[in-house]
Amino acid sequence: MSLTEYRRKRQFDKTREPAPGKPLPKGERPIFVVQLHHASRRHYDFRLQVGDALKSWAVPKGPSYDPKVKRMAVEVEDHPVSYASFEGDIPHGEYGGGHVALFDHGVWSTPYDPEAQLAKGHLRFELFGEKLKGEWHLVRSGKAARQPTWLLFKEKDAYAGPVEADELLDDVTPPPGAPKKAAKKTAKKIAKVAPKRRRKVDWAAKASKLPGAKKATLRNEAFEPQLAKLGDTAPSGAQWIHEVKWDGYRLVATMVGGKVRIWSRNAIEWTAKVPELRAALEALGVQSAAFDGELIAGRGTQADFNLLQATLSGEQQGALSYVLFDLLHLEGVDLRKAPLVERKALLEDLLSTPTPHLAYSSHVPGDEGDAAFALASEQQFEGIISKRAQGAYHAGRGDDWRKTKRLDSDEFAVVGTTPGQGARTGFGALLLARPDPEHGWSYAGRVGTGFTGELIREIVEHIGKRKTSTTPTVYVPPNAITPADGKRATWFKPAFVVEVFIRGIGNSGVLRQPSLKTLRLDKDVDDLLDSDRAPAKKAAKKTATKRAGATARERAPAPETRLSSPTKIIFPDRGITKLQVAEYYRAVAPHLLAGIAGRPLSIIRCPSGAGKPCFFQKHHTAGLDVVRFVRLKEEAGINANYLVVDDLAGLMELVQFNALEFHPWGSHADTPDIADRIVFDLDPGPNVPFAEVKRSAQQVHDLLQQLGLQSFLRTTGGKGLHVVVPLNPGNRWPLVKQFAKGFAEALAGSEPDRYLATATLKLRPGKIFVDYLRNGRGATAVASYSLRARDGAPVAVPLAWRELAALKRGDAFDLDATVARLKKQRKDPWAGIDTIRQDLASLG
């Protein structure tokens, strides 16, 4: 987000408003703030943190809790995140002069990418404030205006009600001289938009009927959860039930007097970190309860764990859920000694009315353990948890709960590093240790794969300036470490915990082929003394100080340059930053522009980097000042504004907007119905060697030549190759599409064992799909010299046909190799592509 306009409008020697540049809070989730602004025209300023700035709208009448009422919201300049705490007077005569007061603030979330939604013109989001709660919408108006205009309105949810923002001002600081009112009326009004009460049930009576239940007073404090032991196979028999093993963070929750507190398994309070969970539990409408469950993102699979961490640290937006699998207290009744299946049945009843962010963890009977494990594996879950159906709830680890993991992983303490080699900086590998009943800790091996650039920096930060040694600080079994590693290693005392995937245990107890799964900031090394693989040994006393800010991640301050967030990691596997991406595009701009300038353009934007969700954009959006647009009719008959880049300034504006890939039309914006390019994309299916792809490209070249058509070669930056046919003066799209389809089908018909002209997945193995579908009005293909949003930062590179024989892969060139190639290149391999006179009409 650019703060240039914010700076331009303010003189910071005359106003108390915060200047940009203050570092963002570490590891915190995105915030929202609403301020009441008594400027020349009274209005509410509605602000959502997106990235490193507050997206801002002026809402004249303020938010309404009535879903039928849509408030006009005028988009204004981005503000720094530090503006969220600003209250007071802006001097009259300065921009926005008048009184600013805080109306509400808190955390906000959305299950989708916020920048993509804003670009599309519809942002769906949830607010967790004192006054503003539940789901809301911002929808961009189609009306032409000097400033983009949106509509802000409430979703029809449990918090909706007949309340206006102006009715909730009794606790808001008034302008100087105005009387301040008591906050009682505001509290009464807020009560009107509290979640609607659920069905009236005597939960205490239901809970008292469970065997072993007894009356008790619940204290609003953390409790020690029950833990599982690791097994090789799922136990069977009627005495067991089986649940999915969710891949998230274990959380317990207590509710006293209708107020919820949430804790990690190590008794660190998480209530403020997960306001959606607190709100969801309080919406259940009970006064006292104790829950056990798992905090997850997405579906709670192994693949979703990184999303969970990124959401909690504020690096990404994602929907969080609390999957509940046990109920230990309800309305004054202690249920710990009740049978597990009875507790779960009561929990399921309590959750029978769907509640956002809460889910019930169902189970299957004991004789279906193998089937449950197979299904969990198929669905990419970590495994299953098997529990004794009639078991009571016991704190700590025991045999009543057993876990069976799909992919073997374990947690280890980091006790040292080896130096980095090649492009790896910071360290080469982490040295690991496990608890040892005889020696305290013993060396378990090294892990040197599975790291992203971001993780490397975070781990280096956690290592910090620890006291190091050239001799091991843990017991090293004989022959457990190689002489080379022994000489290069730096050792320190057990420092922090990582979880690694392992593929067996080798000689001397050393891990075989480990790879990093994640950095476990929710645990410290003392937790491993009570792990499922450790001997029974009392864990050392943990301190809250050591855990404070455990999920914090360093966030860069808002930069002073035109390119926002230059240090943001775009290619995490290589640690390549946004600045490096921008420098690459500046270096190749003359060559890239030769293929995209003046053409309708689609881009792939990656606001959080290539390792996170990206989105495809073809329409012009608010905020683009240099990139122009051309108004074109789409297939549905609707006119839309398509992106067009003409020069370096336009290209770099899209790079600033996190564009990584550039996909032009095969026609120009001024003649959109006339094609001047045909692209055959040779896309290999599974088990097709690249040598076969090269042979196919040469064959396509030769066949086209027999038709009198010259063609050009390009790597795609992926697995395949492009064969590009220039048309001059060009042909209409229906003829081009007919030719491309006929050529592909003829090739597939002549050699059906090698080629396909359809994209049917089940037919793809062992064959090359001759993709002709890129040859239609509105279809695109990746441009020469465009990066691809994939590991390694590969580039689509044009080649001379004579270079085909030596080519090793379709992604053989990355951004560094491409720049180096251009510096040495004497002749453009596509020289003459725009001057060749050929078209399909001449084929007869």
Do β-strands 226-230 and 396-405 pair in parallel, antiparallel, or remain unpaired? parallel
Residue 600 near residue 670, CB atoms below 8 Å:
no
Cα(116)–Cα(643) distance, rounded to whole angstroms?
A: 16
Cα(396)–Cα(390) distance, rounded to whole angstroms?
A: 18
Cα(549)–Cα(311) distance, rounded to whole angstroms?
A: 15
Q: Which residues are catalytic?
A: 245
Cα(631)–Cα(138) distance, rounded to whole angstroms?
A: 25
Maximum Cα–Cα distance across the chain: 92
Cα(500)–Cα(404) distance, rounded to whole angstroms?
A: 16
Please name the residues in contact with 432: beta carbons below 8 A apart, sequence gap of 6 or more.
412, 413, 414, 415, 443, 444, 445, 446, 447, 498, 500, 511, 514
Residue 9 near residue 73, CB atoms below 8 Å:
no
Give the E-state strand segments of 448-514 in sequence order: 490-491, 497-501
First-to-last alpha carbon distance for the chain, in angstroms, is 54
Alpha helices in 482-549 (DSSP H): 483-488, 544-547
Bridge partners, 147 (sequence order)? none
Residue 520 near residue 499, CB atoms below 8 Å:
yes
Q: Burial letters for 439-453: b for 16+ Cβ neighbours within 10 Å, e otherwise?
A: eebbbbbbbbeebbb
Single-letter code of the amino acid located at 353: T
Single-letter code of the amino acid located at 48: L
Do β-strands 289-297 and 320-330 pair in parallel, antiparallel, or remain unpaired? antiparallel
Here the contacts of 458-467 (C-beta below 8 Å, separation 24 or greater) are: 458/519, 458/553, 458/554, 459/414, 459/426, 459/427, 459/430, 459/519, 460/426, 460/427, 461/554, 462/495, 462/496, 462/519, 463/414, 463/417, 463/427, 463/492, 463/495, 466/492, 466/493, 466/495, 467/492, 467/493
> Can you state the percent helix, strand and coil of the chain, rounding each to 5?
25, 30, 45
Cα(648)–Cα(588) distance, rounded to whole angstroms?
A: 10
Alpha helices in 335-479 (DSSP H): 340-350, 369-378, 453-463
* CB neighbours of residue 117 within 10 Å: 18
Residue 584 near residue 815, CB atoms below 8 Å:
yes
